[in-house]
Chains A and B, each alone.
Chain A
Amino acid sequence: MGINFRQETFRNDFSFKNSPEQIRRFPFPFHEDGYMYSVNIEPHVPGPKNTVFEHLFDVDEHYISEMRDRAMVLAEDPLRCQSLPHMTLAGWDTLELLMTEKAKSYPDLFSLTRDGDKWHWINRPLGIDDRFTFGDTSTLPYGPLEYITRQSQGDFAVLDQRDGNLWMDAGMVTTQADWSLDFDIGMNFFEWHAPVPLAHEMGVFNRALKFLMAIQQGQPARRFNWTMTINPRLDTSPENYHKWGTDRTTVTPDNVGHKVHLRVEVQMFFRLPRSNALLFPIRCYLIKMEELVSSPKWARRFHRVLRDLPDELAEYKGLVRYRPTTVEWLSKYDDGQPTSPGFGPD
């Protein structure tokens, strides 16, 4: 195999692009021509080859560049990675899960050798070769959560489970859709979801919490979420709103194709065995409108989804300013033909 890792940026000159192969494996999140909340959770089991679900933790052509962007975010703002004192064990659980899965899924890129608690980890794409003692934080350059999530695409929230609730007590969050770990740290499930419109009234969160608290070891689950981002910027955080908020005023009919991105999150849920915490990886995939419309079905469907989205959701997702321009641009690719069921391109 071998992945052709791209050298690209998610800031300043925004050289991020998807290769044609990467476009084909894009996790398009709409199975029908409309969108409303649903808990939409399914088992996270390995999926077909050449999809982002082939392995439990997908590594793709953006890996090295995404990790470089994360390091830049952390250098400016170390609070993007936090772990409350009782969450260290969950950090070790996370490290074990990510290392064992990566080494199993991509043996030519990653290797893990274990002799009791003496571990040897090799990450070839990032040029890392470290020996450490599992459970002994002093043998790693960072805490276990930070160490392994500096080497793993996507954000990671680590949720402590107690008192019939989930608590945002640790995480690594640098590629987020406008939420802040530093703001949410220590909050429970209902507190950090408080800003979401409509869903509370629908009882979505009570059902979701009940489901999440029952996630069992070895039976992870996943769901999609989505929003849109102007310019391929991973770090759309509240902390840096002053850097990206105004991007939303720059969309014109001429630049929609390369400036407007659909941002899809594959959210996963894993029960961690030692700490009984819940690991919540949030993996972000970006695709430009001009890349998206290379699939006629996706073009038609996304046009209809965006056009018919309830105003509250458009407001919450921050799409209001550029939605009309984008819908207008997409309408050129919607000939009114029916779309086939399911997620994949035709």
Chain B
Amino acid sequence: MVTDIVTVNELVKRFHFRRTDGGLLPTFSGGAHIVVEMRDEERTRLNPYSLMSSPLDTRDYTISVRRDDAGRGGSLFMHSRVEPGQRMVISSPVNLFSLDLRARKHLMIAGGIGITPFLAQTAQLAAEGGNFELHYCFRNDGVGSYADFLRQRYDRKVNLYRSDLQETFELERVLATQPLGTHLYVCGPEGMIDWVRATAAGLGWPGETVHYEHFAAPQPGKPFDVTLALSGIDIRVGEHESLLEAIEAAGIDPPYLCRGGVCGQCETNVISHDGKFLHNDHWLSEEDRRSGCKIMPCVSRFEGRSLVLER
């Protein structure tokens, strides 16, 4: 049940969930997300959100939702249609962005709403005396969700950068001065993730010490038609619908975990196609893409005459 909704700033609302029977929710680890089911008349949306509450207190789960006016409507639904007291179905927590517990130090870099998994991870680390340092970049005071909270709680472990004040995050200096055994985590917009990964690679950080989470939501696009060969069904993917959602709406349940093009679970074989793929995932290899034999229906789309999938 939604127990509370807090307006954090002009773009972000925070939602608190508790069990309807008052019991504890499942234990989780920092970096985990849940999938929230939104029933919007005849459509069902399933959107993933990072858990930001402390893993040490599972009486409630909290998530923050940034309103995306150009998106497919999931965040707008959360912002405008969800009210305290409402019952919603959420999934068990899944962690695709977990801390590497071998690290001697955890260096975290967040951009914008990408701060949310770090709120849970810092709470977890602080409780066990873990060594962490957080760098948080955001546009202005109005959208710096939880900046004050983090600063108060963790003081100098937290570094804030406001782009409206031309405060620059000297990434190279920060990366160059870390002790051996540090692991790097980055969550934020795609450009930031690419920048951090490239800079780290250039400075010789081993790939396995660099962890990142894209929270790319599926993008809207032109409608397209698909034939699901195994089920013998033809479907149309609407403008504000993902291919995965359209497949689910047809009564077929492919496996999924992240719904964001990262985990690989919903990978689907292409039997034939005549047109162009719009691959938006971070899962398929270049070779997979060139072959035209695979698509990630959670985030990717298609433009063309025909697409036949092995579903």
Contacts and interface: CB of A to CB of B under 8 A. Distances in A.
Interface string A254-288: 00000000000000000001111000000000000
Interface in B177-214: 207-208
Given A160-B101, A274-B55, A276-B29, A217 B208 contact: no
A273 B28 contact: yes
B98 A161 contact: yes
Contacts of B94: 216-217
Contacts of A162: 98, 100, 208
B98 to A, nearest CB: 4
A276 B94 CA distance: 9
Interface residues of B, number: 22
A92 to B, nearest CB: 11
B92 A219 contact: yes
Interface in B233-263: 255, 257, 263
Given A162-B100, A210-B264, A214-B255, A274 B27 contact: yes
Contacts, number: 47
B265 interface: yes
Nearest to A219: B92
A214 B257 contact: yes
Nearest to A169: B102
Contacts of A85: 102
B26 A218 contact: yes
A191 to B, nearest CB: 15
Contacts of A216: 92, 94, 257
Interface string A216-254: 111100000000000000000000000000000000000
A21 interface: no
Given A162-B208, A276-B95, A217 B28 contact: yes
Interface of B is mostly: loop
Interface in B98-144: 98, 100-102
B93 interface: yes
Interface string A71-111: 00000000000001111010000000000000000000000
Contacts of B255: 214
Nearest to A93: B27
Contact of B93 (A160, A163, A217): A217
A210 B263 CA distance: 9
B98 A273 contact: no
Nearest to B56: A274
A218 B101 contact: no
A275 B100 CA distance: 9
Contact of B29 (A160, A214, A275): A275
Nearest to A89: B101
Nearest to B58: A273
B263 A214 contact: yes
A218 B95 CA distance: 13
Contacts of A210: 264-265
Contact of A217 (B55, B92, B100): B92
Contact of A273 (B27, B100, B257): B27
A101 to B, nearest CB: 14
Interface of B: 26-29, 31-32, 55, 92-95, 98, 100-102, 207-208, 255, 257, 263-265
The 3 closest A-B pairs by CB, nearest first: A273-B27, A86-B101, A276-B98
Interface of A: 84-87, 89, 160-163, 210, 214, 216-219, 273-276
23 contacts: A84-B102, A86-B101, A86-B102, A160-B101, A162-B100, A162-B208, A163-B207, A163-B208, A214-B257, A214-B263, A214-B265, A216-B92, A216-B94, A217-B28, A217-B94, A219-B92, A273-B27, A273-B28, A273-B29, A274-B27, A276-B29, A276-B32, A276-B95
Given A219-B92, A275-B29, 7 more contacts: A210-B264, A214-B265, A217-B92, A273-B26, A274-B27, A274-B29, A274-B55
